[in-house]
Structure 1
Amino acid sequence: MSYNIALNFEDGVTRFVSCNEGETVLDAAYRAQINLPMDCSDGVCGTCKGACRQGEFDLGEEYLEEALSEEEVTQGMVLTCQMVPSSDCVVEIPVPSTMCKTGNAAVTGKVAEVNLISPTSIELKIRVEEELAFLPGQYVNIQVPGTEETRAYSFSSRPGSRDLSFLIRNVPGGLMSSWLVGEARTGDKVTLTGPMGSFYLRPIERPVLMLAGGTGLAPFLAKLEHMKANGCDLPTHLVYGVSTEDDLVCLDILDRFVSELHNFTYVTCVSSTDGDHARKGYVTHHMDEAPLNEGDVDVYLCGPPPMVDSVLAFFREQGITPNSFHYEKFTPSLSAAQEQVA
């Protein structure tokens, strides 16, 4: 038996290694030619210290208190030279990937479909040769064919599949948008680099509030696919805000999640005053169904910078401090900027 270990480096790079039963994370990484920080490898120096954010493991009793204190253990800190996983795990490594003689992994795929699903949104489907591991909510950099430029896009598909999908904003004159709308053909080769990002779904231990702006819906579709596959009995609510009614996409998929995923609900809102949509305004105007629970809630937000700022202001004004708040800002044609407030 083996386990998938996601190594999250401080520069946003994630590398997955396969850890055999009874094997330490440090040894599994070395076997994959990833040189994690280490000195003694005996639980004495603490050089290999990291943090396990998800999964089950055993640290044994061979390490010294000077290397890893009891308080650090209660905070989820680990020594990778002593950590023996008993499930899939997510481990934070507090150094850049380049210091470990690794970096982003590049894979090649082929365009399967390009669909203009609204005047402002493009659905891109790519098929890769091997299943691509990523954490639900992460993104990759996709190279624009014929150029050296890349653009960052969150997966909207479930992890561990050869069939990948992305929601991409159709930016007039944008480099990727122009290629997708005017030149892309089925079978065209594309290069993806990643996965990356800290906006991944944590273990669900309390209600979840999801806030999406525009094509920021993409990572939530991946999270919901993961939740459906693994089960979730806690309330999960999505507030999905767009500029105009034409910008609303994937509502059929969200309706399917309502029927398939226990305790999942969602509402949509439109900021434009034109049209007949029932809910006008921004996501902060439509939080009445949100499971805020006086702060006993995990919040995930993906949208443009003004939306992130307004939501942070909303919680301050309400005097609510969520148990955790994870957000991802994005702007068209620029790489995603991942930020997290625990």
Structure 2
Amino acid sequence: MASYRIALNFEDGVTRFVECQAGEKLLDAAYRSQINLPMDCSDGVCGTCKCRSEAGSYDLGDDYIEDALSKDEASDRLVLTCQMRPTSDGIVSVPTRSSACKTGQQKLSATVAKVVAHSDAAIVLELDVDVAVAPQFLPGQYVNIDVPGSNGATRSYSFTTAPGQSRLGFLIKRQPGGLMSSWLAHAKPGDQLTFTGPMGSFYLRERARPLLFLAGGTGLAPFLSMLEVLAQGEPGPPVHLVYGVTRDEDLVLVDVLEAYAERVPGFSFTTVVADTASSHPRKGWVTQHMPQDLLAGGTVDIYLCGPPPMVDAVRAWLSQTGITPGSFHYEKFTPNLPLKESA
């Protein structure tokens, strides 16, 4: 029997996945996974279970009243989970915290497989998990990794790999004296780590228009996950990445991007270095090297991940130039704190 994987995104950033059998209502599939979605009547009368379908196809039937879900709401992809029968994989936003649904972050254990330092700029961390519990996530999301020996401190890192793999990848900024950087300096294959997640509202949506990816430093990480998913999918509209860093040394994994340029039809990228003393052919800020042809007419979806000054600068540039993209998704990060803001 066919089944569909549905990502439930809660308003506190937690994402849980449920398997929904063909013809099964999402509310029932969630209960089967011990996730108590909001519900009073389960008959399409009260509207308590109203959520929004962000992606995927479904059948709502006609066994509900308009007071519970109006025609305008239904046309705007609002759904009643007590009536919604998914007909494909999808994403549903749940307008409540995960704790209110008696669920929360999943905690997994992993084994260090590889630690590779890229000068003083970044570290590539690879972890192995049991294939039977390989985490599902949306490309672009992150997890909170527990820092060993730190009395409960965590650090948030985006996946660089595709969902469902037993080998997980992360790109981590090296911070002198930082808790995770200090631990990784001595980490070796076989060491154990634990993490919780996935989390975050910064993830790849349906590819309906050309895509513009804007990465600052290790903000490249979520785009590598997105590119891996695009490489495994069907060809679509063009994708361009502008990858900006402060110094030449910060420009890491360019060979990985070159490989994606070979694997992903229509993918291209530009690298930019801010340091005026650099010999790099493109110096300055990301906003100085935007692909004007891709931005023409606003028929582009923009994804932006980087430190707060970069995110603020790009948002201001878009406002000043009057460019309104088809959709705009961004995530700010700081080196030592969980990811704080996304849209």
Identify the TM-score tier after normalising by the shorter chain: over 0.9
In structure 1, how many angstroms separate the alpha carbons of the residues matched to 2:191 and 2:71? Answer: 54
1:156 aligns with 2:192: no
**Match of residue 23 from structure 1:** 24
In structure 2, how many angstroms separate the alpha carbons of the residues matched to 1:178 and 1:84? Answer: 49
**Match of residue 82 from structure 2:** 81
Shift of 1:269: 0.2
1:145 aligns with 2:148: yes
1:215 aligns with 2:218: yes
TM (norm. structure 2) is 0.97
SS at match of 1:211: strand
Q: Structure 1: give runs of 5+ residues left out of the alignment.
A: none
Q: CA contact under 8 A between 2:207 and 2:236: conserved in structure 1?
A: no
In structure 1, how many angstroms separate the alpha carbons of the residues matched to 2:33 and 2:340? Answer: 28
Q: How many residues in Structure 1 have an aligned counterpart in Structure 2?
A: 339
Aligned-partner residue type, residue 109 of structure 1: A
Aligned-partner residue type, residue 171 of structure 1: Q
Q: Which moved more, 1:49-58 or 1:283-292?
A: 283-292
TM (norm. structure 1) is 0.97
In structure 1, how many angstroms separate the alpha carbons of the residues matched to 2:22 and 2:291? Answer: 47
**Match of residue 308 from structure 1:** 311
Q: CA contact under 8 A between 1:209 and 1:290: conserved in structure 2?
A: no
Aligned-partner residue type, residue 165 of structure 1: G
Q: CA contact under 8 A between 1:121 and 1:168: conserved in structure 2?
A: yes
Describe the superposition over 1:179-230 as per-residue Cα deviations: whole angstroms up to 9, x where unpaired: 001x212111111100000001000111110000000000000001111111
Q: CA contact under 8 A between 1:197 and 1:338: conserved in structure 2?
A: no
1:277 aligns with 2:290: no
Q: CA contact under 8 A between 1:198 and 1:338: conserved in structure 2?
A: no
SS at match of 2:294: coil
Shift of 1:158: 0.8
SS at match of 2:337: coil
Shift of 1:297: 1.0
**Match of residue 61 from structure 1:** 62
1:337 aligns with 2:335: no
Aligned-partner residue type, residue 125 of structure 1: E
Aligned-partner residue type, residue 160 of structure 2: S
Aligned-partner residue type, residue 169 of structure 2: S
Q: CA contact under 8 A between 1:237 and 1:290: conserved in structure 2?
A: no
Describe the superposition over 1:67-95 as per-residue Cα deviations: whole angstroms up to 9, x where unpaired: 11111111111100111111111000000
In structure 1, how many angstroms separate the alpha carbons of the residues matched to 2:64 and 2:319? Answer: 43
Change (3 A) 1:74 1:293: farther
Describe the superposition over 1:144-196 as per-residue Cα deviations: whole angstroms up to 9, x where unpaired: 01221100000001111011000000000000000001x21211111110000
Shift of 1:289: 5.0
Spell out the pairing of 1:142-291 with structure 2 (5 A cutoff): 142-147=145-150, 148-181=152-185, 183-289=186-292, 291=294
Aligned-partner residue type, residue 114 of structure 1: V
In structure 1, how many angstroms separate the alpha carbons of the residues matched to 2:171 and 2:234? Answer: 24
In structure 2, how many angstroms separate the alpha carbons of the residues matched to 1:298 and 1:287? Answer: 13
In structure 1, how many angstroms separate the alpha carbons of the residues matched to 2:296 and 2:77? Answer: 25
Identity %: 56
Q: CA contact under 8 A between 1:204 and 1:232: conserved in structure 2?
A: no
Shift of 1:254: 0.6
Shift of 1:118: 3.1
Shift of 1:21: 1.3
In structure 1, how many angstroms separate the alpha carbons of the residues matched to 2:236 and 2:136? Answer: 25
In structure 1, how many angstroms separate the alpha carbons of the residues matched to 2:204 and 2:333? Answer: 18
Q: Which aligned segments of 4 or more residues in structure 1 are displaced greater than 3 angstroms?
A: none
SS at match of 1:335: strand
In structure 2, how many angstroms separate the alpha carbons of the residues matched to 1:192 and 1:284? Answer: 35
Q: Structure 2: give runs of 5+ residues left out of the alignment.
A: none
SS at match of 1:330: strand
Shift of 1:290: 5.7
Q: CA contact under 8 A between 1:329 and 1:338: conserved in structure 2?
A: yes
RMSD: 0.9
Q: CA contact under 8 A between 1:155 and 1:222: conserved in structure 2?
A: yes
Aligned-partner residue type, residue 245 of structure 2: V
**Match of residue 7 from structure 1:** 8
